[in-house]
Amino acid sequence: MKKLLTLILCTFSLSLFSQTSNMPLHEVFTSSTCGPCVAGNQNLTTIFDANPERQTVVKYQMSWPGDGDPYYTSEGGTRQGYYNVTAVPRLLVDGGWDANPSTYTSVERDAYYFSDSYVLLTASHTISLAGNKLTVDVSVTPLMDYNTNNKVFIAVVENRTTGNVGTNGEVEFYSVMMKMLPNASGTILGTLQNGVTEIVHEEYILQSNDYIEEVEDLSVVVWVQNYIDKTVYQSMNSIESGVYVDELTKENLVEVYPNPTSEKVHLLLNTTKDIEYSIKDSFGREVLKGIVSTNFIDVSGLAAGSYIIQFYCEKIRSSSKILLI
């Protein structure tokens, strides 16, 4: 008897997706009238300062306990209600990790940081000292398809504040949320298609009742989040791409050349005052900083790519894009 061997061919489709590194978003609910918040903030400061390039941070000051924080805003209250926060301190990481920030560790942070993301996010902003106009541009490029309920959130934060001292003994506060654009509800993206870029543009005139202490000390944090299940797909610190202009000279602090370059960025200084600089990569992470002491900056240790170099002199800033090859 002959045996009949039947070969069954099975076909299947395999979808391959690219991925990028993840920048974990840390949303902190706190108050200067909350005793336990002191230890929580101190723990986070220790973790964040050790690796400032490995996270984004937004702190919402709450209206309780007691009289609450002087810098409480209704938009912070909206985020509180969104996460159903009923006690402070509380930390949410990428919309998921949820506990007292005193228990958070750098190991947990690094687990988020070294995970993969499937959303490419870029953001840049400018602030005009004349009129206090803030402009933010965001592009979102998914590396896989996402269903509906996706939003972009934009938070304007002040890097350091001292005017909201309460009763818990803290005298300075970091990454304090001052305003969300256009508001705490974010901007709807809807369905995200693999490789299709979505653009978000926001403009806002900073107001006197926004609690801002120094316009020059503002940063912008941007993230993409599924508003229903609260998953944060990607976040970044927006790159300040605009120029703070000296009202008297109308000149940039520093002009840079050549561009592109590889080993040195040469500088043409337009002031004799001391100038500090900070170089940030395309994720908004600071990769190099210092004080201008010569007519060039050595960038030979940086990888090829696009960067923003920011210069600071008293209350004047200027920024330039540079390409390293």
Report the C-alpha gap between 137 and 247 in whole angstroms: 25
Q: Is residue 162 exposed (0-12), middle (13-18) or buried (19+ Cβ within 10 Å)?
A: exposed
Whether the Cβ atoms of residue 125 and residue 220 lie closer than 8 Å to each other: yes
Rounded to 5 degrees, what angle do the CA atoms 294, 49, 241 make? 55
Note the pLDDT of residue 16. Answer: 42
3-state secondary structure of 74: helix
Domain 254-324: CATH architecture, name and number where available: Sandwich (2.60)
Return the residue matching tokens 């209350």. Answer: 315
The token duo for 201 is 């543009």
Q: Which CATH code of 2.60.120.560, 3.40.50.300, 3.30.300.130, 2.60.40.10 fits the domain covering 20-240?
A: 2.60.40.10
Of 82, 66, 79, 58, the C-alpha closest to 31 is 66
Of 204, 203, 237, the C-alpha closest to 221 is 237
Whether the Cβ atoms of residue 270 and residue 252 lie closer than 8 Å to each other: yes
Report the C-alpha gap between 258 and 322 in whole angstroms: 9
Say if pTM beats, i.e. exceeds, 0.75. Answer: yes
Note the pLDDT of residue 28. Answer: 98
Phi–psi pair at 308, nearest 5 degrees: -115, 130
Extended strands (E) in 1-128 = 20-21, 25-30, 56-61, 90-93, 97-99, 116-117, 119-128
Which helix (H) or strand (E) segment is 293 a member of?
none
Q: Do domains 20-240 and 254-324 have the same CATH topology?
A: yes
Chunked into runs of 10 residues, the chain (325 residues) has average pLDDT values of 36 49 96 98 95 94 98 98 97 94 97 95 84 90 93 96 97 97 96 94 93 89 97 93 47 78 87 85 78 90 84 76 83
Measured over the CA atoms of residue 98, residue 100, residue 101 and residue 103, the dihedral's sign is negative
Whether the Cβ atoms of residue 239 and residue 278 lie closer than 8 Å to each other: no
Q: What is the phi-psi region of residue 132: left when phi exceeds 0, alpha when psi lies from -120 to 50, beta otherwise?
A: left
Report the C-alpha gap between 33 and 211 in whole angstroms: 17
Report the C-alpha gap between 58 and 158 in whole angstroms: 9
What are the domain boundaries of the chain? 20-240, 254-324
